[in-house]
Structure 1
C-alpha cells in the first residue's frame, strides 16, 4: 500500500485502485496508463511539479495528453514565472519516484492545482504512488484531500 492509498482510506474517500503491468521502456507513464486501462485520455491525469519564481514548488494535475502552460500555472499560483522542477527536487519533496508521483500524500504539502477540465468529470484517474498503479476518484474528493484549487492550466 502506498501513502496515497493509506491517506484516502483514513480520509474515508471513495476510490478504486487500478493496476496494470508497467513497461520500463515506456516514456509516457500517463498515456501508458490510459491505454492499458482502456480509458479516454481526458479522464487520466498526470502530476507535474513546477518551481515558482525560482524557489517554491507547486503541483499541477493535468490531462495526460495535455501540455502544461507555464504562464497559466504561474498565474494560478500568483507567481511571476514557473518552470519544471528538477527530478531530484520532485522526488525529495513528494517522496515518490518519477513516473509514479501521486498528488496525494506527498512528503511536503505543496500548493496544488487541478486543471479545470476535471470539474466536468464524474471520475478521474491519478497516479497511486507507483508506476503501474492508478487511483480512480471524484475530482472534488481529490481537491479535498490535496487542498487543491481548480484552475485553467493547459493551453
Structure 2
C-alpha cells in the first residue's frame, strides 16, 4: 500500500485528523470502487464495507448521504417512514458537484457542503468497518460507533 495520497484522499485524511481521529487513509493496490471490490482488496466481508450512497431529496433537491452496509440495498420507503425524507436517484454530475467526489470513491465525511446523513443499523454489528476515502482505490478503517460523531448521522433500519 502506498502512503502518498491524491488530493481528494488527502482531504479526507485532513478531515479525520482535524476531528481528532487517528484513522489512516490507505491506498489499495486494487480497486475499491464497489463493495465487493473493496472487500476483496481489504480481506473483509462485503457487509463490513460502509458504502456511501448519495441521493437527492425529492422535496428540496439537497444531497442526502446514506451510509449502508455493503450487502444491503436501501429501501427508500423505510427511509421515508423513519425520517420523512423522499430519496431520489442522484446522477454522477450531481454527486461530484455537490459532494466533491466521484461515485466509487465517495467518503462518509469531508464533503463540499453539510449533508443530511442516514446510517444503516446493520453496520453496528461489526467491530471494524471500512469506508471509501475519496478515490476508487482508497479506504479507511473505523468503528461503526464513530459514524454518528463524524457525520451527524441518524441510525435507522433501511435495508430492503
TM over 0.5: yes
Match for residue 22 of structure 2 among 14, 29, 33:
14
Match for residue 151 of structure 1 among 148, 152, 156:
156
Kept after mapping to 1: 8 A contact 2:13/2:24: no
Kept after mapping to 2: 8 A contact 1:52/1:74: no
Which whole-Å CA distance do the structure 1 matches of 2:73 and 2:99 have between them? Answer: 21
Which whole-Å CA distance do the structure 2 matches of 1:58 and 1:114 have between them? Answer: 11
Structure 1 residues 132 and 94: CA distance shift in structure 2, 3 A:
same
Give the alignment of 1:129-140 within 5 angstroms: 129-140=134-145
Deviations 1:81-118 (A, max 9, x none): 32221211111111011111111111111100110011
Kept after mapping to 2: 8 A contact 1:127/1:133: yes
Q: CA RMSD in A?
A: 1.8
Residue ranges of structure 2 left out of the alignment (5+ in a row) = none
- Which residue matches 1:58? 64
Deviations 1:92-151 (A, max 9, x none): 111011111111111111100110011222221110111111110111212201111111
Residue ranges of structure 1 left out of the alignment (5+ in a row) = none
TM-score, normalising length: structure 2:
0.85
Give the alignment of 1:99-114 within 5 angstroms: 99-114=104-119
